[in-house]
Amino acid sequence: MFGPLVVKPGSSKNNKTGSWRTGVKPQFLQKNCIACKMCLQICPEGCITGQEKNTFICDYNYCKGCGLCVFICPKQDIKMVKE
């Protein structure tokens, strides 16, 4: 019998590491967004996507809840909420 020990390259997308999240997560309000993309660029997990104003979201399957997107947003359009 074997457990999970071997991974093929490029498979990090398959590992849903969002289970490590700290207990809080960012909520994207999508009201005052100016599409500056600061949140997208600062996200250490690269799990924030979006193009137009008020379209930005993150993928909670990977988000660790670090809060950097909330910190960097110039419009306070992202807030941390409890899980």
Partner 1 sequence: MKELLEGSRAIAEVVKLCKPGVISAYPITPQTHIVEELAQMVADGKLKASFVNVESEHSAASVVLGGEAAGVRSYTATSSQGLLYMAEVIFNIAGLRLPVVLACANRAVSAPINIWNDQQDSLSLRDSGWIQLVAENIQEAVDFHLIAYRLGEDKDIMLPVMVCLDGFILTHGIETVDIPSQESVDKFLPPYQPLYKLDPNNPVTLGPLVDPESYTETRYAIEQTLKDALKLIPNITVDFSKAFGRHYNGLVEEYRLDDAERAIVAMGSVCGTVKDVVDILRSKGKKVGLLKITSFRPFPAQQVYEALKDIPKVGVLDRALSLGSFAPLTCEVKAVFANKKKRPQAINSFIVGLGGRDITLDSIKEVFRLLSLKERPAEYIDLKPELLRERYE
State the minimum distance, in angstroms, from the CB of residue 29 to partner 1. Answer: 30
Q: To which residue do tokens 């799990």 refer?
A: 47
- Joined together, the tokens standing for residue 64 give 């660790």
Phi, psi (5° rounding) for residue 48? -100, 135
Per CB under 8 A, contacts with partner 1 among 13-72 are 15, 17, 19-20
Q: Residues touching partner 1: how many (CB under 8 A)? A: 13
- Joined together, the tokens standing for residue 63 give 């988000």
| Rg of the chain taking only CA atoms, in angstroms | 15
Q: 52 vs 83, which CB is nearer to partner 1?
A: 83
What residues line the site for partner 1 (CB under 8 A)? 1-9, 15, 17, 19-20
